[in-house]
Structure 1
Amino acid sequence: MERLLRGHPLRTVSVDGASAEFVTDAALVRRILVKDGKHYTKGELFQKARILSRAGLLAQDDALHRHYRRLAHPYLRTTAVAGHAPVMEEIARDTAALWRPGQPVDVQAEMCRAASGIALNTLFGALPRETSNVLGAHLAALSWEMIRKPLYGKAARSPRPSQRLAGAFTGFRTLLASCVAGRLGSPAASGDHLSALLADTGPDGTAALSADQICDEAVMMLTAATVTTASVMSWALYLLAEDPLVEEKVLKDLAQTTAAHPGTATGAGVRPGHGQGPPGYALRFLMEVLRLYPPVWITCRKTLSDVTLGEHALPAGTHVMFSSYLLHRDPDRYPHPHRLDPDRWLSLRPTALDASYIPFGAGARGCVGEAFAWKELEILLGAVAREWQLTLPPGTRVRAAAHTTLHPQRLHMLPQPR
């Protein structure tokens, strides 16, 4: 991708026989996402969540998308995330506590398990432990299949998902539908995202979404929260193992943060660019992980009307693509772009003025769960890194796989107690 597209601000490409304009200039990407966002809608070349939902946040209609974004926001904003932290910490510790010294750990499967438990117990409220465990296991299985779902090629074009993905989806959705049905009689019983979906009404006062649509929206939210976190945390633990000096600095920062905030696994969980002064080393490390391996690594939009993008006139219906992976490795913005360097964020700051750092997207369709994700990543990193030193088995070579998320193709590691 870098070799073929670098140096071309906008270049025509083909994806599965469909023509698209590939944009590599950060200023033009910002124009697509922010300044001229109303002239673009979701593209159709990569249907990452096609089998999950077409309602709510994934609706093509911008007004409907904004409505369900507002509905989710109270449970994902920074102040709400602080209340979720104890649940996140408990699930993160419980996940790592099951590991055994010297016994290989499938890191991606374990991170799916932890992230699924966190998503369920924060967005759905307190669940009975047995219900949470069963739902979590099925959500983790679905998330792992979604992570590996191809974005293009024959398998992606097929109207039917793979047998494993279809089975995982059906298994989780059937269980979730039972939980939704049990809550239909008391939609305002608890202050969580599911209750908000159940209580939502249309102009005539009737339920805005059917039970099936509520279930689809819940599946989408839970799966999206799980797959992205699991992919990022897998890379984070791999990169720690690969660079002992970075690992040492992360551990030192985590220890200092714990001392400054006794009784919690992490500190304030400030989003980058929203706090006073430069972020701490552990947060800078996570920023660098997301720069190198953004989970949503490629995106497609489609023009709703004739637009001008830079010096190019694009007719309505044009597919426009860009890659956060490529933007994040621009040598003009990031010297030695392939190097892990958390300290680059001492002088750099994520900014809304361009799109050179967009691990969570930008504009009206940017990730509504960004604050939630930063806190979750910080807690998971602390829970694992403080208790375990993870190493790769001798001779292991880890490769990146560009599927629904950008994830390690296979990542088994050996844990040893600190």
Structure 2
Amino acid sequence: MPPTPRDADRPQDLRFSRMERLLGGHPIRTVTVDGTSARFVTDPALVRRILVTDARHYGKSELLQKARILSKSGLLAPDDARHRHYRRLAHPHLRTTAVTAHTPLMADVARATAASWRPGQPVDIQAAMCRAAGRIALTALLGPTTGATSDQLTDRLAALSWEMITKPLYGRAARARRPAARLRQAFTDFRTPLARCVTDRLNSPHPTTHYLAALLADTGPAAGGALSGEQVCDEAVMMLTAATVTTASVMSWALYTLARHPLAEEKVLKDLAQPADTDTDTAARPGHGHGPPGYTLRFLMEVLRLHPPVWITSRRTLTHVTLGEHTLPAGTDVVFSSYLLHRHPAHYRDPHRFDPDRWLTTRPRPQDATYLPFGTGSRGCVGETFAWQELHVLLAALAQEWRLTLQPGTRPRAAAHTTLHPHRLLMIPQPR
């Protein structure tokens, strides 16, 4: 950005080095996206104002077409009161105690994924990670289902997640009929069997304690009323897809990074071989446990710094606002990139270098916006605690079982679509 005509035709080829060159040194710069003028913000302090301090003055923006096909009735509702209601509803199912209860499920899925690979046979890593993350999300948020139904839902959620991961955000490709048709078909293919699950839960005499059950029993916020059965189904699709695409993208980068950095791989394996610390093992995320984070967590933190799945975000001003030295009228689109914030030379020494040990002395602080892998503020990712533990468990099972190398002749590149993911990541597993 600002996109040239070539970039608008091929947003997947967006060059981050060009973004850094054009936007570097400018805390706010005017850019044009699909013919719409917007303000691109690169100053973390100003991003914090957008997301935290003055968040009430900013609403959702449709400038970047991320999730138009998904539900906007619950957690993605533009109305703050409605969003807060469904955030509170989801929180008990995603907080630390719930994550602890779901850790054995994560481990079972991770072991099953590792057991499905064969020595020397190429693995489509992103497809495998979509299936693993999807299986975990389905069971954690919907509760157990029968074998055949579980397999069908997992396969179709993985297919939908891949279409979402590779969905262009802007330009002609974002408006093309063929990708949109594939996404709509994948959405329908998954939503149809999921709707049957929702109906079964409605008719079941046995109450459950999963998030879907909470949605079905909810009476809604004070204003707006409860979700209809159709909206509950759409909300479930949104939650499941969001949980799958982000985890799949990050895990793909993590496994790729292990292959690229043998010394880091050696340190991760050594760290994983140590006896588990209960404080950190059940809540493997920054800020938990005693002392500096262990090496595996530092490794994941660095993967997320360099490859944040939600790499770009847009908001729209609801009123006249002052942002830095600029006065922005209501209706102004504001864009910022966690990819650029995470590589800001003023905040990270040698910012393009993969260095997990930088987190021994650098600690991410909620009061700034220099590290935003899960966002921040009232609309930050509600599943952050769940995600950190899931990444840790999946990485441990796969890395300890297999040594992965890139398939000869392949050179994965960063593809900037709905999530930042490695394009065509085929890897060869060999037993440890």
TM bucket (normalised to shorter chain) is over 0.9
What TM-score, normalized to structure 2? Answer: 0.93
Residues 1:295 and 2:313 are matched in the alignment? no
Shift of 1:332: 1.3
Deviates more, 1:248-257 or 1:290-299: 248-257
Question: Secondary structure of the residue that 1:256 maps to in structure 2?
Answer: coil
Number of the residue aligned with 2:292:
278
Residues 402, 429 of structure 2: 8 Å contact kept: yes
Shift of 1:131: 1.5
Question: Secondary structure of the residue that 1:57 maps to in structure 2?
Answer: coil
* Pairwise CA RMSD: 1.7
Distance in 1 between residues matched to 2:367 and 2:139, nearest whole Å: 36
Number of the residue aligned with 1:411:
425
Task: Give 1:363's match in structure 2, choosing from 372, 377, 391.
Answer: 377
Residues 1:381 and 2:392 are matched in the alignment? no
Residues 328, 356 of structure 1: 8 Å contact kept: yes
What TM-score, normalized to structure 1? Answer: 0.96
Number of the residue aligned with 1:332:
346
Question: Secondary structure of the residue that 1:336 maps to in structure 2?
Answer: coil
Residues 1:111 and 2:129 are matched in the alignment? yes
Question: Secondary structure of the residue that 1:8 maps to in structure 2?
Answer: coil
Question: Secondary structure of the residue that 2:430 maps to in structure 1?
Answer: strand
Distance in 2 between residues matched to 1:163 and 1:77, nearest whole Å: 36
Number of the residue aligned with 2:320:
306
Residues 106, 411 of structure 1: 8 Å contact kept: yes
Distance in 2 between residues matched to 1:109 and 1:301, nearest whole Å: 31
Q: Relative to 1, partners in 2 of residues 1:257 and 1:403: Cα closer, same or farther, differing over 3 Å? A: farther
Residues 65, 170 of structure 2: 8 Å contact kept: no
Distance in 2 between residues matched to 1:188 and 1:47, nearest whole Å: 40
CA deviations over 1:95-120 (Å, ceiling 9, x no partner): 11010000000000000000000000
Distance in 1 between residues matched to 2:169 and 2:195, nearest whole Å: 27
CA deviations over 1:195-253 (Å, ceiling 9, x no partner): 00000114799971111100100000000000000000000000000010000000000
Shift of 1:52: 1.4
Shift of 1:132: 1.1
Number of the residue aligned with 2:143:
125
Counterpart residue identity of residue 11, structure 1: R
Counterpart residue identity of residue 19, structure 1: S
Shift of 1:54: 1.7
Listed as ranges, the gaps of 5+ residues in structure 2 are 1-18
Distance in 2 between residues matched to 1:380 and 1:336, nearest whole Å: 29
Distance in 1 between residues matched to 2:418 and 2:43, nearest whole Å: 23
Number of the residue aligned with 1:191:
209
Counterpart residue identity of residue 225, structure 1: A
Residues 9, 25 of structure 1: 8 Å contact kept: yes
CA deviations over 1:7-37 (Å, ceiling 9, x no partner): 1000000110011000000000001100000
Shift of 1:376: 0.3
Identity of matched residues, %? 71
Shift of 1:186: 4.1
Counterpart residue identity of residue 81, structure 1: V
Shift of 1:44: 1.3
Residues 121, 429 of structure 2: 8 Å contact kept: yes
Number of the residue aligned with 1:175:
193
Residues 1:395 and 2:413 are matched in the alignment? no
Question: Secondary structure of the residue that 2:274 maps to in structure 1?
Answer: helix
Question: Secondary structure of the residue that 2:242 maps to in structure 1?
Answer: helix
Distance in 2 between residues matched to 1:25 and 1:122, nearest whole Å: 37
Listed as ranges, the gaps of 5+ residues in structure 1 are none
Distance in 1 between residues matched to 2:136 and 2:320, nearest whole Å: 43
Number of the residue aligned with 1:140:
158
Task: Give 2:35's match in structure 1, choosing from 10, 17, 21.
Answer: 17
Q: Report matched runs for 1:244-259 at 5 Å.
A: 244-258=262-276
Distance in 1 between residues matched to 2:299 and 2:205, nearest whole Å: 41
The alignment of Structure 1 onto Structure 2 pairs a total of residues equal to: 413
Residues 187, 195 of structure 1: 8 Å contact kept: no
Residues 251, 391 of structure 2: 8 Å contact kept: yes
Q: Relative to 1, partners in 2 of residues 1:224 and 1:187: Cα closer, same or farther, differing over 3 Å? A: farther
Deviates more, 1:53-62 or 1:185-194: 185-194
Residues 187, 198 of structure 1: 8 Å contact kept: no
Residues 187, 199 of structure 1: 8 Å contact kept: no
Distance in 2 between residues matched to 1:77 and 1:188, nearest whole Å: 24
Distance in 1 between residues matched to 2:350 and 2:298, nearest whole Å: 17
Task: Give 1:46's match in structure 2, choosing from 40, 59, 64.
Answer: 64
